[in-house]
Amino acid sequence: MATRIDRRFEDLKREGRAGLVTFMMAGDPDYATSLAVISALPKAGADVIEIGMPFTDPMADGPAIQAAGLRALKAGQTLKKTLQLVREFRTVDADTPIVLMGYYNPIYIYGVDKFLVDALEAGVDGLIVVDLPPEEDSELCLPALKAGLNFIRLATPTTDDKRLPAVLANTSGFVYYVSITGITGSATPNATRVSDAVARIKRHTTLPVAVGFGVKTAQNARDIAGGADAVVVGSALIDRLCNSLDANGNATADTVKAVTMLVSELADGVRSVRRAAAE
């Protein structure tokens, strides 16, 4: 059965444009502000929302997302509250796909079976768990797929043609291509190399390919959208949120607007590519 993610990418294909995937950390800088920001993202132009599950040892994340996770944990965010965040989001938006992104330890502690039941009930559509390789699919990936959740896998510039089939074997929804080697937000991707990499992945799969890591501006997003099915932006949005906080790290009256303004700019950049090509 098609999921919200499948349906959204089919819609994007019909519209002839790439999508914008936005990442925010659950509970950053506090639960209420996080819910307000995430609830405002679709209207600002987000096609898919990734929500980070705060974790104390985020090995793939750069300083901005690490700091966001620590702010959220300090404010009392838990995995249970993250699922509640999704549940409350679903009271105002039944259509925008939600992907939870994070690490396996909190899910393991919560309990895999209970997590999958609660995630589906809350309205989660997919999972990205960056520290579970294909060799560990029986831990979470296969149970998630059986339950009806998409399991999105990351491919990187070092994932060669020999490794790709294993990475893609149980991937669903879309493939997340990490455009740079390194942590999130650490460099700006080269659009030509990204386009070549996406073409190589597409020789192995019919799934959409979303590209993230290092996209910071509307021009970056526009460049990447020319060769990808979707553009993922996280660190730049977290930076914008962080810069809106007061000296004590609390949200201000500008916090939601600061994030949504950048999302609108990024969405315009992404959407301009295919429109221009069709004219």
Q: How many residues does the chain have?
A: 279
Rounded CA-CA distance 192/175 in Å is 18
Longest dimension (CA), the chain: 52
Q: What is the 3-state secondary structure (H, E, C) of the chain?
A: CCCHHHHHHHHHHHHCCCEEEEEEECCCCCHHHHHHHHHHHHHHCCCEEEEECCCCCCCCCCHHHHHHHHHHHHCCCCHHHHHHHHHHHCCCCCCCCEEEEECHHHHHHHCHHHHHHHHHHHCCCEEEECCCCHHHCCCCHHHHHHHCCEECCEECCCCCCCCHHHHHCCCCCCEEEECCCCCCCCCCCCHHHHHHHHHHHHCCCCCCEEEECCCCCHHHHHHHHCCCCEEEECHHHHHHHHHCCCCCCCCCCCHHHHHHHHHHHHHHHHHHHHHHHHC
Q: Which two tokens stand for residue 152?
A: 């999105």
- Is 136 a catalytic site residue? no
Which positions ≥6 away from 161 have C-beta within 8 Å? 200, 204
- Is 50 a catalytic site residue? yes
Query: Catalytic residue among 61, 118, 229, 239, which?
Result: 61
Is the separation of the CB atoms in 67 and 105 below 8 Å?
no
Query: Catalytic residue among 28, 30, 50, 118, which?
Result: 50
Amino acid sitting at position 250: N
Which are the catalytic amino acids?
50, 61
